Amino acid sequence: MIDARDIRKEYGGFVAVQGSSFSVDRGEVFGIIGPNGAGKTTTLKMLAGLLEPTSGSAEIAGLDTETAEMRQQLGFLPEESPLYEEMTPISYLKFFADLYDVDPDVAEERMHDTLDELELEHRDRKLGDMSKGMKRKVAIARSLINDPDVLIYDEPASGLDPLTTNYVIEFTEQLAKEGKTIVFSAHNLFHVESICDRVVIMNEGEIVARGDLEQLQAEYGHTRYHVYTTVDVPGAAKENGTYERVVESMEAVETTRRQAENRGGDVVDIRTEESSLEEVFLNVAEAGTRGTRYVEEDAE
Partner 1 sequence: MQPDKLLRVAKWEVTKNAGGVDKRTIVVMALSLVAMGAVAAIAVSGGTGAGMDDGIYRIGVDESSPYYGVAADDRTFDIREPDPTAIERRQQELLYRGSQLQSVPRTAKERAALAELRDSTAQYNDRTLARDDNQTAAFPVSVTLVYEQQSGSSQLDPRGGDSSDGSGSADGSGTSTGGSGDGSDTGGTGGSATSSSGDGGTAGGSGANLGAIGARLTGDVQGGTPSDISPPFPFESLVLAFLYIVPMNFVIQAYGSSMLSERLNRRGELLLVTPASRGDIIGGKTLPYFVGAVGVAALITAALRFGNIAPAGSYVAVLAVVPLVVLFLSATFCGAMFARSFKELTFVTVTITVTLTSYAFVPAIFTDVTPIALISPLTLVVLDLTGQSVGLSSFVFSVTPPLLTGLVLFGLGAGLYREEDMFTQRPIPLKVLDALAGGINSRRSALKMSIILLPLVIVAELAAIAFLFVLDSVSLNVFGTNQSLGIVLVLGVIVVVEELAKSLHVYAGYEHARYERTLRSALGIGALSGLGFFIGEKGLLIARLSDLESLPIGEAALQGATLPAGLPLWVAGLLFLLPLALHTVTAAISSVGASRGRRAYLGGLVLAIVIHFAYNFAVVSTLV
Residues that bind partner 1 (CB under 8 A): 11-12, 45, 48-52, 68-69, 71-72, 74, 76, 78, 80, 82-84, 86-88, 91, 95-96, 98-101, 126, 142
CB of 174 to partner 1, least distance (A): 23
The Cβ of residue 114 has, within 10 Å, a number of other Cβ atoms equal to: 21
Q: What single-letter amino acid sits at 252?
A: A
Q: Which is nearer to partner 1, 69 or 269 (CB)?
A: 69
Residues 6 or more apart whose CB falls under 8 angstroms from that of 224 comprise 246, 247, 248, 272, 273, 274, 275
CB neighbour class for 217 (10 Å; exposed up to 12, middle 13-18, buried from 19) = buried
Q: Which is nearer to partner 1, 145 or 236 (CB)?
A: 145
CB of 116 to partner 1, least distance (A): 22
CB of 41 to partner 1, least distance (A): 11
CB of 47 to partner 1, least distance (A): 11
Cα separation, 151 vs 48, whole angstroms: 9
Cα separation, 208 vs 20, whole angstroms: 10
CB of 99 to partner 1, least distance (A): 4
Q: Which is nearer to partner 1, 88 or 185 (CB)?
A: 88
Q: β-strand 63-64 against 267-274: which pairing, if any?
A: unpaired
Helix (H) or strand (E) holding 44: helix 40-47
Q: Say what the alpha-carbon torsion angle 237, 241, 242, 246 is, to the nearest 10 degrees.
A: -30
Q: Which is nearer to partner 1, 51 or 216 (CB)?
A: 51
Which phi and psi (to 5°) does residue 237 adopt?
A: -125, 145
CB of 73 to partner 1, least distance (A): 10
Q: Which is nearer to partner 1, 12 or 264 (CB)?
A: 12
Q: Which is nearer to partner 1, 102 or 120 (CB)?
A: 102
User: What stretches of the chain adopt beta strand conformation (E)?
Assistant: 2-11, 14-24, 29-33, 55-60, 63-64, 74-77, 150-154, 181-185, 198-203, 206-211, 223-229, 237-239, 242-247, 267-274
CB of 107 to partner 1, least distance (A): 13
CB of 24 to partner 1, least distance (A): 18
DSSP label of 196: -
The Cβ of residue 134 has, within 10 Å, a number of other Cβ atoms equal to: 21
Q: β-strand 63-64 against 55-60: which pairing, if any?
A: antiparallel
Q: Contact at 8 Å (CB) between 107 and 141?
A: no
Q: Which is nearer to partner 1, 21 or 72 (CB)?
A: 72
Q: Which is nearer to partner 1, 144 or 199 (CB)?
A: 144
